[in-house]
Amino acid sequence: MSFVLGNYVRAAFAPPRYLALPFSGIDLSTSGAKAVRLVEGVHGLILAKYAEIKLPPGAFADGEVVDRKMVVEALAAAAASAGVSATNAALPESKSFLFEAAAIGADVSEWRTAVEQQLDELIPLPPSETDFDIVEVGRGERGETRVVGVGFARRIIDTMLSTFDEVHIPVYALEGEMFAMARALLPRGDTSTVLIIDVGKTTTKLAIVAGRVPRFATTIGIGGHALTLAVQKHFGVTETEARKVKAERGIVPAPGNEDYLAAMLSTVSAIRDEISSRLTYWQEKAVLRGAHEPVTHAILVGGNASVRGLPE
């Protein structure tokens, strides 16, 4: 059966909605709760509904639920607006521990056991308080299996699940942000090595992805809101007015724009320098050791990635 025909049959004779697993996802971040629902069409997945409910400052901070009542209300509103009744959910990158390891065994269960035995060397958390998962990425020189894994403190997972329980939304799967983002942005079968730059409100997340699997990830504590604050300080305007100026002017040179541009570039330069230092390490150290391929291109995403002039 051809790929196109297979998709057509699957879409035309899809199982009843109550039997099918949901093509739904929910993400919590500093800025708010985002929900998306997809449907399967002849040519693949199609966006059916998207919703975003803003959170007040401090309700969700540094990857953790702080104001549970506000977060629950935002989750409920986003899910209702997007028509989401069950979901997959993302876990914050800032609370994750990405690692690579060698594992002996014939299948994933044996690899997990091998990783579990060395978990205290891979993740700075007590093994009894850690949940982790792994994915195979290749073979080592001695025939051992190379795996990439991600771990989270169990309390982070328990808090996330209990928060969704309070909204009465079953969670089918939890996944690290950067793993989900890599699959969303890169087509199946892509083997390139890519730098993903996710510019959010208060943070910028970086991931170097090889074969759609994150091999390096970190979070920088500077995001698009810093640009808004720079506009506020320069013009002495409200935050709402500053966001409007940022959207209209961006970071684009224009006559009489020199002082404003200097204020914006001082913030952007801080983000750029952080990216540059991580990328330099990868290109000069990791690649020279022969363990990885060099980054060939970058993908700029996130709520603040559309600021005019930012890619340049």
Span 254-270, pLDDT tens digits: 787 778 888 888 888 98
pLDDT beyond 60 at 174: yes
Neighbouring residues of 205: CB distance < 8 A, sequence distance ≥ 6: 93, 94, 177, 178, 196, 197, 198, 217, 218, 219, 220, 302
At 264 the pLDDT is 85
Average pLDDT of the chain? 88
Say whether both 195 and 306 belong to one domain: yes
Say whether both 16 and 57 belong to one domain: yes
Tell me if 226 is assigned to some domain: yes
Tell me if 163 is assigned to some domain: no
Say whether both 198 and 304 belong to one domain: yes
Tell me if 144 is assigned to some domain: yes
Say whether both 45 and 120 belong to one domain: no
pLDDT beyond 60 at 281: yes
Say whether both 144 and 200 belong to one domain: no
Tell me if 122 is assigned to some domain: yes
Tell me if 172 is assigned to some domain: no
Burial 71-87 (b: 16+ CB within 10 A, else e): bbbbbbbbbebbebeeb
Say whether both 215 and 308 belong to one domain: yes
Span 99-108, pLDDT tens digits: 999 999 989 9
Say if residues 275 and 197 touch (Cβ distance below 8 Å).
Answer: yes
The pair of three-digit structure tokens given for residue 100, joined into one six-digit string: 């690579």
Say whether both 287 and 247 belong to one domain: yes
Number of residues that this document lists for the chain: 312
Helix 224-235 / helix 239-249 crossing angle, nearest 10 deg: 110
For residues 46 and 63, give the distance between their C-alpha atoms in angstroms, rounded to a whole number: 29
Tell me if 90 is assigned to some domain: no
The band of 21, judged by pLDDT with boundaries at 50, 70 and 90, is low
Residue 213 lies in domain: 188-312
Cβ neighbours, 10 Å, residue 43: 10
Q: What is the mean pLDDT of residues 188-215?
A: 93
Of 85, 111, 138, the position where a domain reaches its end is 85
Of 32, 66, 85, the position where a domain reaches its end is 85
Tell me if 308 is assigned to some domain: yes
Say whether both 15 and 109 belong to one domain: no
For residues 238 and 147, give the distance between their C-alpha atoms in angstroms, rounded to a whole number: 49
Residue of 197 and 7 predicted with greater confidence? 197
pLDDT beyond 50 at 110: yes
Of 65, 85, 105, the position where a domain reaches its end is 85
For residues 24 and 38, give the distance between their C-alpha atoms in angstroms, rounded to a whole number: 6
Say whether both 209 and 143 belong to one domain: no
Q: What is the mean pLDDT of residues 74-78?
A: 97
Say if residues 199 and 109 touch (Cβ distance below 8 Å).
Answer: no
Say whether both 121 and 39 belong to one domain: no
pLDDT beyond 90 at 213: yes
Say whether both 15 and 108 belong to one domain: no
At 22 the pLDDT is 62
The band of 9, judged by pLDDT with boundaries at 50, 70 and 90, is very low
Lowest mean pLDDT: which of 89-103, 143-157, 176-190, 247-261?
Answer: 247-261
- In CATH, what number is assigned to the domain containing residue 202? 3.30.420.40
Instruction: Count the domains in the chain.
Output: 3
- In CATH, what number is assigned to the domain containing residue 141? 3.30.1490.300
Say whether both 46 and 110 belong to one domain: no
At 27 the pLDDT is 92
Tell me if 183 is assigned to some domain: no
Residue of 2 and 105 predicted with greater confidence? 105
pLDDT beyond 50 at 146: yes
